[in-house]
């Protein structure tokens, strides 16, 4: 495996799953390194007239099962190592969900909050101009990720179309509806995670009314998931964002908190009636303290590497559903397992986003667009089917759900790679 800390950590999960699959040495060798990566410099003329250079990345880890697929993130910590790791996870996520895609990822190293909207648009278009030869509807398809949204995706699709001199909606998913986006795409990751939780918790006799939940990361995905859970009776007792968190053992009114945050950009435990919001009794906590709460369900929905060997023994939740990418390091996995904590992996739990991205790509290529009801029903069916298959594999081999997810994905990847011929095939008599 390549010398990159995040990617090496991610690959440990692959090595564990390899013990339970029967795929060729050729396939294993091909999965050791990303297929292609590009690093670009993007010059940006700032609003004050000065020039600044930003570093951008795009990695296509594997495209055996179809074109690369993966988001573009804007964050100060974006690096080639991180993008490679995320593309690796996307490879297995797409195979796990049986999507005709390989894994890819991209990003720009920046603080998006430090740029104006005009600067962000110019930077987004500059990124596409720099990587235009590396992407395409049948080559590598972009999507929103951290600090990118439908508007940014619209800029990117438009810029690529300008370069190609034709309308190319299929090169980007997560676009505005008016530009060929899909109904249900903005909530897809949350809805998909909700379906996974609802499929798995009943297997442990864990009903919503008797289940407490803490959500780290009250952004678009975490906030929507918290609301979906609270609507069906789960007691969400803690949420947090980048500034810190709030905790109320009696439960939080998530819709009120979401409305308050959208209007004030701050996180407060409030209860709202119409436009009047009153602060309710709560405790202010840090993100680290939220992770250590004694709750039934912990949902890391922020950044990677939140639960590590340093704090894993302090986790008190019974079940962890990884909505963020890579929130638990591989060395923390074994500690959590020894404590009897069940972890449900990111490549399954947060796969709703890429699944509806696939639906959007299909709609763009066919010119036929689905209703939100059709999208959500198709999403529910696929998330439920693949969750049940992963659960069955975990029971069959007596392994964790993470290992089972990689086994499931590896079997599909290995079959596709071996279809092109293996050492045994070429060495056999003609």
Quick count: other Cβ atoms within 10 Å of Cβ 376?
20
- Of 116, 88, 115, nearest to 104 by C-alpha is 88
Interatomic CA distance for residues 291 and 298, integer angstroms:
7
Q: What is the pLDDT of residue 3?
A: 40
> What pTM, to 2 d.p., does this model score?
0.89
Q: What is the pLDDT of residues 11-31, one digit of tens each?
A: 777 788 888 988 888 888 888
Find out whether 279 and 267 touch, Cβ atoms under 8 Å: no
Pairing of strands 270-273, 276-279: antiparallel
Pairing of strands 51-62, 36-45: antiparallel
Alpha carbon 180 to its chain's center: 22
- What are the backbone dihedrals phi and psi of residue 364, each rounded to the nearest 5 degrees, phi first? -60, -40
- Active-site residue list: 105
Domains and CATH numbers, the chain: 34-170 (3.40.50.10860), 188-349 (3.40.50.720)
Q: What is the pLDDT of residue 47?
A: 97
Burial of 273 (0-12, 13-18, 19+ CB in 10 A): exposed
Q: What is the pLDDT of residues 368-404, one digit of tens each?
A: 999 999 999 999 999 999 999 999 999 999 999 999 9
Find out whether 61 and 34 touch, Cβ atoms under 8 Å: yes
Interatomic CA distance for residues 322 and 301, integer angstroms:
7
Interatomic CA distance for residues 97 and 94, integer angstroms:
5
Q: Spell out, as residue ranges, where the chain has pLDDT lower than 50.
A: 1-3
Q: What CA–CA distances, in Å, run from 320 to 223, 274, 327, 349, 400?
A: 17, 34, 10, 10, 12
Find out whether 342 and 320 touch, Cβ atoms under 8 Å: yes
- Of 98, 102, 188, 11, nearest to 387 by C-alpha is 98
Interatomic CA distance for residues 181 and 178, integer angstroms:
7
């Amino acid at each position: 495996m390549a010398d990159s800390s995040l990617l090496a950590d991610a690959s440990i999960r692959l090595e564990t799953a390899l013990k339970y699959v029967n795929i060729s040495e050729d396939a294993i060798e091909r999965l050791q390194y990303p297929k292609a990566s590009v690093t670009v410099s993007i010059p940006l003329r700032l609003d004050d007239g000065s020039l600044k250079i930003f570093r951008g990345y795009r990695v296509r880890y594997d495209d055996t099962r179809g074109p690369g697929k993966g988001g573009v993130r804007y964050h100060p910590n974006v690096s080639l190592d991180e993008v490679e790791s995320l593309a690796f996870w996307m490879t297995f996520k797409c195979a796990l969900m049986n999507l005709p895609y390989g894994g890819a990822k991209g990003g720009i190293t920046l603080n998006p909050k430090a740029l104006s909207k005009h600067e962000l648009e110019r930077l987004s278009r500059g990124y596409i101009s720099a990587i235009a030869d590396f992407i395409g509807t049948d080559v590598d398809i972009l999507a929103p990720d951290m600090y990118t949204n439908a508007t940014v995706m619209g800029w990117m699709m438009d810029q690529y179309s300008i370069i190609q001199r034709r309308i190319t909606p299929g090169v980007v998913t997560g676009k505005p509806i008016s530009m060929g986006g899909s109904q249900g795409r903005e909530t897809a990751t949350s809805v998909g995670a909700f379906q996974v939780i609802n499929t798995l918790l009943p297997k442990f006799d864990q009903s919503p009314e008797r289940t407490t939940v803490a959500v780290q990361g009250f952004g678009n995905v975490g906030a929507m998931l918290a609301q979906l859970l609270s609507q069906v009776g789960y007691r969400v007792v803690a949420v947090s964002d980048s500034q810190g968190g709030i905790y109320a053992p009696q439960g939080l009114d998530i819709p009120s908190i979401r409305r308050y945050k959208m209007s004030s950009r701050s996180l407060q435990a409030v209860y709202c009636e119409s436009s009047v919001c009153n602060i309710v009794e709560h405790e202010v906590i840090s993100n680290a303290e939220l992770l250590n709460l004694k709750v039934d369900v912990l949902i890391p929905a922020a950044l990677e590497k939140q639960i590590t060997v340093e704090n894993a023994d302090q986790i008190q939740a019974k079940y962890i559903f990884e909505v963020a990418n890579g929130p638990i390091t591989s060395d923390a996995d074994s500690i959590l397992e020894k404590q009897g904590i069940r972890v449900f992996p990111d490549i399954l739990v947060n796969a709703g986003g890429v699944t509806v991205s696939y639906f959007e790509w299909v709609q763009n290529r066919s010119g036929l667009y689905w209703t939100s009801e059709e999208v959500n029903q198709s999403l529910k069916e696929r998330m439920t089917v693949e969750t049940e298959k992963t659960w069955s594999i975990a029971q069959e081999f007596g392994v964790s759900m993470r290992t089972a997810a990689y086994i499931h994905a590896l079997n599909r990847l290995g079959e596709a790679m071996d279809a092109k011929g293996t050492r045994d095939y070429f060495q056999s008599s003609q």
